[in-house]
Amino acid sequence: MNLFKYFKDEIVAALARLTEAGTLPGGLDLSKVNAEPPREEAHGDVATNAAMVLAKPAGMKPRDIAEALAAELGAHPAVTAVEVAGPGFINLRLADGFWFERLAEVLAAGTAWGDSTLGQGRKVNVEYVSANPTGPMHIGHARGAVTGDALASLLEKAGFAVAREYYINDAGAQVDVLARSAHLRYREALGEDVGEIPDGLYPGDYLVAVGQELARLHGDRYKAAPETEWLAAFRAHAVTAMMGMIREDLDALGVHHDVFTSERELVEGGKVLAALDFLREHGLIYEGVLEPPKGKLPDDWEPRPQTLFRATRFGDDVDRPLMKSDGSFTYFASDIAYHLDKYRRGFPDMIDVWGADHGGYVKRMQAAVKAVTEGEGALDVKLCQMVNLMKGGQPYKMSKRAGTFVTLRDLVEAVGKDVVRFIMLTRKNDAQLDFDLDKVLEQSRDNPVFYVQYAHARCHSVLRNAAETLPGVDLAAGALAAGPLGRLTDPAELGLIKALAGWPRLVESAAEAHEPHRVAFYLYDLAAAFHGLWNKGKDDARLRFLLDDDRELTMARLGLVRAVASVIASGLSVFGVEPVEEMR
RNA sequence: GCGCCCUUAGCUCAGUUGGAUAGAGCAGCCGCCUUCUAAGCGGCAGGUCGCAGGUUCGAAUCCUGCAGGGCGCGCCA
């Protein structure tokens, strides 16, 4: 249960009673009334702004509303104290028993604690990675992959029905270049000395195997044949091979998609034409000439009539071209068809995860989605900023092939998939991220992966010790939930329970904001609270988890420890990170 | 020239969708400590939230303008 949502409902109900009693006028807009944790711990457990936001519409003083509402709320059995503070906040303090119930709830639910019905099964499509099928994934792709994957998991936890999708850009000129590059490697495999890979072709040695495979399949049949005879077949083969490689890269990172959509199939299936027809029927396409861009002008600029989409009607800055001069579609045209396709597959809510270099593309895509779904669809675009690879605080190049990129595989091999995943989520997506190969493996408080994993491992260490010193005692979550949790009266213990109780609210707010990084910060704070309690046990033996002379209190504390482990595991599972039970 | 993003402590960053006295971690200073396998712990200090206006009971958060940084700007993807 999201306790803040619960108390918001209680507050709304109390306001209804006050309206009925004539204390408040009817017809008030309650949408701005909230219930949230106060910033200051001293202000209690739940605070509401109700009196302040209703003062003006009700024509009353905030203080008067607050007094009346406070009296109502004070009658709630879980509320032990109500105070009106500041300009009209109402602060509620909750009974310890209420928190013990939450702890029992955490234990009963296990890692399902925090699952929400917020999404009500609404379908959401999250498209991420979508790296061009022309080579292995690099470090920049990794951030988008992890961000999209974690966002999808987060939305699932919040009750949405999520589809994870990959869009294969296999129709543009870049895959023809790939085919030609593969052809060169094919000739090489047949014994020809091809020398240096010419500019304009992909030089990567990952194409050597593709060339060999093509030579095995086709012999020398296409060695000197004109391009028209082999291009399509070589392209298809090479794209398949590249996608196989990309899937392996994603697998190494633990990222999996439900749906792979091929741009080429959209084009060949007539879906781009259909989308353009739709726009044309709605009067959103015209032949026209664009103004030259202000500022730096392309060298070969000349005014040219083009097929344009009226993007400006939907909030974009200029209308956008849909056709190239050779009559083929622009990338934008097939992207419109793709988003329409997603919409027609039942996804009015779409999220795309892109690299920041596509920032200039967001407005037109959102404009197109509005146009093509007649305002029914919504597209949110998460732009992932650059990852700066560092080592020991200095910028670092890890490339195996001079002048090329750092591959995702290199990175995963260097630090492990869980570290890559967690660190990628320690910044909001639109801020640049420093990834320091040394720091992420450091065993210190400064390294969030270690700090969080360590908290989880410590919990399990305590449980292992307990199993040894208390043979035959049931340490399963269910049994501990039924234990004497009321013995947990130390402020640090109650604080930890409150942190655990905040997890459902965090899941919901992070899911609504599409911000998975908040989970990382929550986990860090939770780990800090747990480590803090542990450290208190160093100074004060009475606060240790395992006590020889108080079996009851030990059992209660083991419940708390298991609950902490469970919530950390729950948070890490959103990130696709394996919680460790032992540090090595 | 235009659009989008960013600007919070010396450094790296949070900031719960407009709330109360803006928070962490490093680094700094002052103490303490040798473990329920474990990263040592506690405290102090550190701020004109880029600048200037505006909206409101209330602004780091919303609006306008300006400055600085990043990305992008007709057929590339």
Helix ranges restricted to H, A136-262? 139-157, 173-189, 208-218, 227-252
Which A residues 395-454 have CB within 7 Å of strand B? Answer: 427-428, 430-434, 443-446, 451, 454
pLDDT of A397 strictly over 80: no
Q: Which has more pLDDT, A105 or A583?
A: A105
Query: pLDDT at position A239, please?
Result: 96
Q: Which nucleotide is nearest to A517 (CA to C1')?
A: B14
Query: pLDDT at position A538, please?
Result: 81
- Burial of residue A251, with CB atoms counted within 10 A of its CB: 0-12 exposed, 13-18 middle, 19 or more buried: exposed
**Strand B contact at CB of residue A366, distance < 7 A:** no
* pLDDT tens-digit series, residues A115-161: 999 999 999 999 999 888 999 998 889 999 999 999 999 999 999 99
Query: pLDDT at position A295, please?
Result: 60
Distance measured from the CA of protein residue A469 to the C1' of nucleotide B37, in angstroms: 15
- Burial of residue A545, with CB atoms counted within 10 A of its CB: 0-12 exposed, 13-18 middle, 19 or more buried: buried
| Sequence-ordered list of residues with C-beta below 8 angstroms from that of A390, at least 6 positions apart, any chain | A396, A434, A435, A436, A437, A438, A439
Helix ranges restricted to H, A190-226? 208-218
Q: Give the single-character DSSP code of A309.
A: E
Query: pLDDT at position A401, please?
Result: 46
Query: pLDDT at position A79, please?
Result: 96
* pLDDT tens-digit series, residues A37-68: 988 888 899 999 999 999 989 999 899 999 99
pLDDT of A402 strictly over 60: no
Task: Give me chain A's average pLDDT, please.
Answer: 91
* pLDDT tens-digit series, residues A487-542: 999 888 999 999 999 999 999 999 999 999 999 999 999 999 999 899 888 878 88
Which A residues 114-133 have CB within 7 Å of strand B? Answer: 132
User: CB A287: neighbour CB atoms within 10 A?
Assistant: 9
Distance measured from the CA of protein residue A340 to the C1' of nucleotide B5, in angstroms: 27
**Strand B contact at CB of residue A583, distance < 7 A:** yes
Give the three-state DSSP class for A161.
strand
Confidence of residue A296 (pLDDT cuts 50, 70, 90): low
Query: pLDDT at position A403, please?
Result: 42
Distance measured from the CA of protein residue A443 to the C1' of nucleotide B25, in angstroms: 14
Which residue has the least CA–C1' distance to nucleotide B41? A535
DSSP letter string over A316-366?
A: -SS-EE-B-TTSPBPHHHHHHHHHHHHHHTT-SEEEEEEEGGGGGGHHHHH
Q: Which nucleotide is nearest to A316 (CA to C1')?
A: B3
Average pLDDT estimate for A466-489: 91
- Burial of residue A296, with CB atoms counted within 10 A of its CB: 0-12 exposed, 13-18 middle, 19 or more buried: exposed
pLDDT of A299 strictly over 70: no
**Strand B contact at CB of residue A199, distance < 7 A:** no
Which A residues 91-110 have CB within 7 Å of strand B? Answer: 91
Model-level ipTM above the cut of 0.90: yes
Given the structure tokens 């779409």, which residue do they identify?
A350
**Strand B contact at CB of residue A240, distance < 7 A:** no
User: How is residue A414 written in tokens?
Assistant: 């260097």
* pLDDT tens-digit series, residues A80-118: 999 998 889 999 999 999 999 999 999 999 999 999 999
Residue of A163, A143, A140 whose CA lies nearest to A153: A163
List the nucleotides on chain B closer than 7 A to a protein CB: 1-6, 12-17, 19-26, 33, 35-42, 57-58, 70-77
A306 and A287 Cβ atoms separated by less than 8 Å:
yes
Query: pLDDT at position A297, please?
Result: 64
Confidence of residue A406 (pLDDT cuts 50, 70, 90): confident
Query: pLDDT at position A399, please?
Result: 55
Q: Which has more pLDDT, A321 or A300?
A: A321
Confidence of residue A436 (pLDDT cuts 50, 70, 90): confident
Query: pLDDT at position A100, please?
Result: 96
Distance measured from the CA of protein residue A375 to the C1' of nucleotide B67, in angstroms: 38
**Strand B contact at CB of residue A325, distance < 7 A:** yes
Confidence of residue A294 (pLDDT cuts 50, 70, 90): low
- Burial of residue A563, with CB atoms counted within 10 A of its CB: 0-12 exposed, 13-18 middle, 19 or more buried: buried
Which A residues 515-534 have CB within 7 Å of strand B? Answer: 515, 517-518, 521, 528, 531-532, 534
**Strand B contact at CB of residue A321, distance < 7 A:** yes
pLDDT of A278 strictly over 90: yes
Kind and range of the H or E run holding A395:
strand A394-395
% of chain A residues with pLDDT over 70:
97
- Burial of residue A470, with CB atoms counted within 10 A of its CB: 0-12 exposed, 13-18 middle, 19 or more buried: middle
